[in-house]
Amino acid sequence: MMKAEEILAQLTVGEKASLCSGLDYWKLKAIPRLGIGNVMVSDGPHGLRKQAGASDNLGNNESVPATCFPAACATASSFDPSLLAEIGGAMAEEALKEEVSVILGPGVNIKRSPLCGRNFEYFSEDPYVAGELASAMIGGIQEKGVGTSLKHYAANNQELARLICDSVVDERALREIYLAAFERAVKQAAPWTIMCSYNVINGTYASEHRELLTTILREEWGFKGLVMSDWGATADRPTGIAAGMDLEMPGSGPYNDKQIVKALRRGSLSEADLDKPALRIIELIQKSQKTLEAHKGCSFSSDAHHALARKAAAQSAVLLKNEGGSLPLAAGKTVAVIGAFAKTPRFQGGGSSKINPFKVDSPLEALLEAGVPAEYAPGYTLGAVTGWISGVVKQEADEEALIREAVELAAKKDIALVFAGLPDEYESEGYDRKSLDMPDAHNRLIEAVAGANPNTLVVLMTGSPVSLPWADRVKAILLAYLGGEAVGGALADLLTGAVNPSGKLAETWPLSLADTPAYRYFPGVRTVEYRESVFVGYRYYDTAGKAVAYPLGFGLSYTSFEYSGLSLSRSSFKPGDSVRATITLKNTGAREGAETVQLYVEAGEPAIFRPQKELRGFEKVFLKAGESRSVSFSLDERSFAYYNLPARTWAIEGGEYRVLIGASSRDIRLKAAIQVEGDGKEALLAGLREKAPDYYALKPARDTVPRELAPGGLDIGAASFEAVLGRPIPQAEPQGGRGPGAFSINTSFEDIKDTFIGRLLWKFLNKEIDRRFPGAEAEARQIAVDTVSYSPIRGLHMAISSITGGHIAFLVKLLNIGRGHAPSGKLHE
């Protein structure tokens, strides 16, 4: 086999440009004369979604059967990197069998708001957790010769208007929160590829963002792989090439390839610029071909993978409440199993991650197989729910009858076990939730059953936090999240006590939506302001002393654990040092179980604004009853650092810090002080307290208990945000602006609807929506309309394959002529 550099030297300019876009939805282009073949990529991130027939990027068309492992919202709660690596290895085996070379995942976007429709695909509100677990999954996949695509890079934290919205985020928050998980995974696991996001970031599309794609990713972090676009995220292709975006996916026909060649002829792009992505793509194809040849005809055991999915779901479930030891279920007690999810579980989310599972376990059947004397009542229907977008859900007459039936059954049994949560249509790629509420039918069911049976237990199936207005009226709450195809068996294991719950929350569950830090600033359409800066999730709640339903890291067990003997390997720390923190953990209960020990670092009295504490380590420890074990953590410079914008580097402020060991962010068991030598760079931020007082007003005195703030949560004024942003807050302008020739391929359909051509186009688009979603309810149809409204014109080729980039460029020219402007700008050539 020739070396990649030798192949590159024999390519024509046209061939180099052609390599930089996909052949179709899933395959890269081949150059047979030089031994470069087609390789295939496929969606993940919690299973393989290979489409052998009709292709799409939203999970609408059929895919080959595969194991549906628990979604990231669940596996994050395992806090177990070894489990993520094992899942990754199993996914790689299935990819090799299907001749897939790159799995598109994992996703490490931060859970900025619990409303983001795609949160179920992401790990955590904390970048350390996300980075560690992603690194483990990447390692598990890639050690078997299959690549990964770490996504979505970066600051892509909402689904609404994701193709046009500008994430306005200060660089400190970008570095400390939104890039940190990517940085950790790149440095620790070296993913083969990274997928850039759809959105604009501080005025520049992610696919054209040289600072992110080259300066930070390659020059600072040392990334050696290739960057591919999210599906349809490419805007100006030559600009993307120069910025460091190597591969456009899916292929958009020859138009963008020709634009690259034209840019070379004009001199706006050099051949050296083009050689870089072409070489990276050749290297990826060669690496993939070698693996595929070595594993030709390989197979795997779907039963073994199903068993792994069951183990993963059990280790990921979180016991939120267990009053009076109500769980595990007492032997011999009669049980009313209530809720349609008990028979047909909600086990995954919608969109590009939707897996076609080999089989799905029913919780009801698994409980009966385990010998639980159970009788079933559906309690609610699984049909479409009226009002699920607005959050105002009507109670249908048949639901009332189902609730009455469930109440009658519950009253006859010793225990009532209710399965509830969010239906499929509530959470999906492409749109965000509007509230934290579960369907009214689910809440009313739980309230009614709890009124009829004092021993009511609830199993929740949801991809993100929900409001629990009935929490005080039930005895136990077990959170399964979206537990994959084997969730039924896993729940039976947990409920009967065959497995001890060990999951911990990787995200805070707020008491109300108004309490969330991004409440006033989520979502946006043309711009979304990240005014909360670094105060995301527990970093806000714990700093402000805000009461929550369940804090980060929370989770109960059927056993108990004792923390003792915290010691630090040194009493002082200076840049370049490392310090080891060690404790003893003992299982003081009668059952074997696992506990996730968490280490947080607290800055004493910093001159700059900082979160009250930040997670800097975790370790999941499995212990037999009565067993003790030493648990150690290593802290380095980054454990104490913040990002200093004037210095454009990580910096350490001197003073006394505390190392905190806890069972959650709110359950700190052990503390130790350490004196840290700083670098003095905080002096460069002198005066920030006066310019941005809203950020400094959050923090109460040390060791205060949670307190209630005014309704509405975090409120950051424009002046404070501009001070940390370092520039005026940008106006929410359409992409391309409003001036002469302003319409561009990035203009949204919403922004052309009042033009003559726009009205004609919308007439066609409405017909297309009706054709693709026949009989859709009003609110489901509205989602489709909103998705189209806030999509750029260039997206037409994704929706209708016969429309080319040339057609779109011509359409833009007509739009500009139609409004009395001469066409201008390189995007219209």
Query: Could you give the C-alpha distances from 306 to 62, 313, 462, 559, 785, in angstroms and in order?
Result: 20, 10, 21, 27, 38
Q: How far is CA 662 from the centre of its chain?
A: 25
Q: Rounded to the nearest 5°, which phi and psi values hold at 578? A: -135, 155
- Give the pLDDT score at 802: 83
Active site residue ranges: 230
Estimate to the nearest angstrom the gap between the alpha carbon of 124 and the chain centroid: 7
Are the beta carbons of 665 and 551 closer than 8 angstroms? yes
For the chain, 829 residues long, the average pLDDT of each consecutive 10-residue run is 94 97 96 94 95 68 93 98 98 97 98 98 98 98 98 97 97 98 98 98 98 98 98 96 98 92 96 98 97 94 98 98 98 97 96 94 98 97 60 63 97 98 94 96 98 98 98 98 98 98 98 96 96 98 96 98 98 96 98 98 95 98 98 98 97 98 98 97 96 88 48 84 97 66 89 91 89 78 88 88 88 83 40
SS3 state at 163? coil
Counted residue by residue, the chain has a size of 829
- Cα separation, 617 vs 578, whole angstroms: 14
Q: What are the C-alpha distances in Å from 626 to residues 146, 315, 559, 671?
A: 42, 21, 10, 24
Cα(662)–Cα(660) distance, integer angstroms: 6
Count the Cβ atoms, other than its own, within 10 Å of residue 717: 12
Q: Residue 739 — φ and ψ, nearest 5°? A: -80, -175
State the DSSP H helix or E strand holding residue 539, giving kind and residue range, or none if neither: helix 538-544
Of 361, 371, 348, 379, give the one whose Cα is nearest residue 442. 379
Taking the alpha carbons of 167, 168, 171, 177 in that order, is the dihedral positive or negative? Answer: negative
pLDDT of residue 234: 96
Q: Is 537 left (phi over 0), alpha (psi -120 to 50) or beta?
A: left
Q: Identify whether the C-beta of residue 358 lies closer than 8 Å to the C-beta of residue 306.
A: yes
Nearest to 106 by CA among 132, 145, 77, 125: 132
pLDDT of amino acid 60: 62
CA distances from 201 to 206, 209, 435, 528 (A): 6, 8, 26, 10
The pTM assigned to this predicted structure is 0.95
- Which candidate, 271, 280, 287, places its Cα nearest to that of 238? 271
Q: Where are the alpha helices (DSSP H) in 154-299?
A: 171-173, 180-189, 210, 237-243, 255-266, 271-294
pLDDT at position 395 is 47
Interatomic CA distance for residues 508 and 659, integer angstroms: 21
Alpha carbon 517 to chain centroid, angstroms = 18
d(CA 507, CA 553): 7
Give the integer Cα–Cα distance in Å for 397 and 440: 13
- The number of angstroms, rounded, from the C-alpha of 600 to the middle of its chain's C-alpha atoms is 23
Q: For the purposes of burial, counting CB atoms within 10 Å of the CB of 616, is it exposed (0-12), middle (13-18) or buried (19 or more)?
A: buried
Say which residue the tokens 């570095």 belong to. Answer: 175
CB neighbourhood size of 731 (10 A): 9
Locate tokens 């006590």: which residue? 497
Q: How high is the pLDDT of residue 827?
A: 35
- Quick check: 587 and 561 in contact, CB under 8 A? yes
Backbone angles phi, psi at 565, to 5 degrees: 70, 40
